[in-house]
Structure 1
């Protein structure tokens, strides 16, 4: 019973010690110490212009992604023979078609 507690402590201590031995020396250069995120340089102007086209494409993707998540269970529900489900499925498909044509 005591081995269940001793072995994990020994193993974690050994792994911690190996990690301390193998860690890399940190560089003191400014470029290395600054964060790098998505190719943006944080040392310059943070108020960079944003492409409205990119925003509209991402918004359209989000809308169609949510609609597809709503469509997935509908064909299974249609097999129950409900007229209402058939109507809802047809209505959602027509809305998607109109949205795709408008886009």
Structure 2
């Protein structure tokens, strides 16, 4: 048996062992009294389950997620500059920052960031 086959078998066995151990350790009783109750979260079943939420909060949360992803995209830039300085990296980085600033100005002018209104 060559080394590649042995590594393949090991790479297949380790996840299977972890999955089986997780299933064994996570096994729970299905006859739990609280699991069989219709409302686990404490809501009164006589009232409506739908409650209104603030659309402004939802939009702010979406904006936060978008900017959070953008920060993740900006994180490797200093490492890229340290390893190899290329004008293409600088141009791409500058254009990305310009697009972010334009998006921020648009959201500011639209009023999406104004929480007090």
> TM-score higher than 0.5 here?
yes
Name which structure has the greater RCO, CA cutoff 8 Å, separation 6+.
Answer: 2
Between structure 1 and structure 2, the one with the greater Rg is 1
Alpha-carbon offset, residue 42 of structure 1:
4.9
Structure 1 stretches of 4+ moved >2 Å = 33-37, 41-44
Matched, 1:55 2:58: yes
Q: Which runs of 5+ in 1 are unaligned?
A: 1-25, 27-32
TM-aligned CA distance change 1:55 to 1:42, over 3 Å = farther
Q: How many residues align?
A: 71
Given that 1:74 and 1:89 are in contact with CA atoms closer than 8 Å, whether structure 2 keeps it comes out as yes
Backbone CA RMSD of aligned residues = 2.5
Using the size of structure 1 for normalisation, the TM-score is: 0.57
Q: Which runs of 5+ in 2 are unaligned?
A: 1-32, 108-117
